Structure 1
Amino acid sequence: MPEFKINRVYYSISEVSKLTGVEPYVLRYWETEFEQLKPSKNKAGNRIYTNRDIKIIMMIKRLLRDEGYTIEGAKKVLRNYNPDEDPTDITIEDGKVKLSKISDPELRQDLIEIKKILELILSKL
């Protein structure tokens, strides 16, 4: 899944929603269903997501929406998924979003969509 390197360690739920294309209420629901998805909370009680959390979200999204798994089926797949070993990468260098080479066409399409969103965000900074 993607690695977001924007010189930031944490992302808000609204930023993650824009980056992943998953609505905030869905992200909150997934937290209740998938034990791997447990973002921390800051002192104000707001969720703060890491790159690792984003990789897990993208895997859940792919399993449920693209591959047609049920929540129970996705839970079984996620038991063997380690986002720290996932080599997929998105980086931002010199204000440009770059994708690592991806052989999986479905995953590449997801990353292309995320790349477009990141470019839009960067253009507004």
Structure 2
Amino acid sequence: MEELNKRYYGIREVAELLGVEISQLRFYEKEFPTLKPRKNRAGDRIYTKVDIDHLKEILTLVKEKGYTLRGAREYLKSRSLAQSENAKMIAKLQEIKGFLQNLRDGIEREEL
């Protein structure tokens, strides 16, 4: 697989890069709500590195791991929910850490 060094890629480039037909990319766009490539002024789809990585993940789930389209959608959705929960937990832990650091700093000032 060639290295991605451009900001945007056309649908033909992405299809060649991933070894799939253009129609398959359009189909996956309809089947996976999380896949939303932007469109330029002419209405042509333009893919970012993030879009391409997402497509690679979808193709891996469907072609290599044997997921159905529905199963791949559910897997990606559940993973997304888990990441969201993890992000909330991290934010809460950072808030607690800040509180504890402020508490420590206050105690250190009192000892001086």
Compute the TM-score of the two structures, normalised by the length of structure 2: 0.66
Q: Which has the higher contact order (CA 8 A, sep 6+)?
A: 1
Q: Aligned equivalents of 2:18 and 2:31: distance in 1?
A: 18
Higher strand share: 1
Q: Aligned equivalents of 1:3 and 1:37: distance in 2?
A: 21
Higher helix share: 2
CA RMSD of aligned residues (A): 2.1
5+ unaligned residues in a row in structure 1: which ranges? 82-125
Match of 2:12 among 14, 25, 44: 14
Structure 1 equivalent of residue 65 of structure 2: 67
- Structure of larger gyration radius: 2
| Structure 1 segments of 4+ aligned residues over 6 angstroms from their partners | none
Amino acid at match of 2:41: K
Structure 1 equivalent of residue 37 of structure 2: 39
Q: Aligned equivalents of 2:11 and 2:38: distance in 1?
A: 11
5+ unaligned residues in a row in structure 2: which ranges? 81-112
Query: Could you give the per-residue CA deviations for residues 90-112 of structure 1, whole angstroms, max 9, x where no partner exists?
Result: xxxxxxxxxxxxxxxxxxxxxxx
Q: Give the match's secondary structure for 1:5.
A: coil
User: What are the residue-to-residue correspondences of 1:51-62 with 2, within 5 Å?
Assistant: 51-62=49-60
Structure 1 equivalent of residue 24 of structure 2: 26
Compute the TM-score of the two structures, normalised by the length of structure 1: 0.59
Say how many residue pairs are matched.
80
Query: Could you give the per-residue CA deviations for residues 2-43 of structure 1, whole angstroms, max 9, x where no partner exists?
Result: 89432x210000000011112110000000010111100000
Query: Could you give the per-residue CA deviations for residues 21-68 of structure 1, whole angstroms, max 9, x where no partner exists?
Result: 121100000000101111000000000000000011101101111111
Q: Aligned equivalents of 2:26 and 2:43: distance in 1?
A: 14
